Amino acid sequence: MRTLEVKDIVVHYGLVEALHGVSFKVEAGRIVALVGSNGAGKSTTLKALMGLKRLTSGSLMLDGKRIDTSHAAQRVGMGIALSPEGRRLFPRMTVWENLMVGAHTVSSAEQRGRSQELVYELFPRVKERRDQLAGSLSGGEQQMVAIGRALMSNPQILMLDEPSLGIAPKIVSEIAQVIKRLNRETGISVILVEQNARLALKMSDDAYVFEQGLVIRSGSGQELLNDAFVQKAFLGI
């Protein structure tokens, strides 16, 4: 498994600086939560890690080697995958076809088969719905497919952007359990961006609090759950 180090990254949208020197580390096999209010820079950070947003400055190191000049497809090949906010499925394609989109960089049919079986084991409903159009699924089922599509690239670092958004609480709990199981049984590292700060901190080994494009707090998930500032600002305590 791989270690990702984010060093002082700065990202702009036009003239607006969205990230002001963000640094954190994702150790192999850990769940890392990025929490904060809307517009704090969490999703921008994931896009920068995936190669969908160019760095103005700073660096990204994967196992000690710089990857910030590589494009998104190359990073998929390095073992990084993103399940984006809003799921972004192809609604007129079947569930199976959406999964295969995630496997387009995998040349081995054997590996594609193993990844598909893992997805079906984690999400039995995805297997049941494999011949249905993705647009006909419920929000929770679509989220399962979106995570499954990311897993089809056989990642070692899985990034999840707001997986609980717009989903019934029962399904949120189910997906959270799957994420923890996936991490525990496969050793895949997870970077979790989640508006539900309590859920994210409970799930995470390590966590970082974002505010206005800066990391303002860091620690274990449990430490930040007990942090008075975090409790007041994000947990309603």
Domain ranges of the chain: 1-79+158-237, 86-154
Amino acid 217: pLDDT: 96
Amino acid 166: pLDDT: 83
Separation between Cα atoms, residue 66 and residue 62, nearest integer Å: 6
Amino acid 195: pLDDT: 86
Amino acid 236: pLDDT: 79
- Give exposure, 2-36, as e/b (b: 16+ Cβ within 10 Å): bbbbbbebbbeeeeeebbeebebebeebbbbbbbb
Amino acid 45: pLDDT: 98
Amino acid 2: pLDDT: 84
Amino acid 99: pLDDT: 96
CATH code: domain 1-79+158-237 is: 3.40.50.300
Tens digits of pLDDT across the chain (237 residues): 689 999 999 999 999 999 999 999 999 999 999 999 989 999 999 999 999 999 999 999 999 999 999 999 999 999 999 998 878 899 999 999 999 999 888 878 888 899 999 999 999 999 999 999 999 999 999 999 999 999 999 999 999 999 988 888 888 999 999 999 999 999 999 999 998 999 999 999 999 999 999 999 999 999 999 999 999 998 877
Amino acid 227: pLDDT: 94
Separation between Cα atoms, residue 154 and residue 143, nearest integer Å: 18
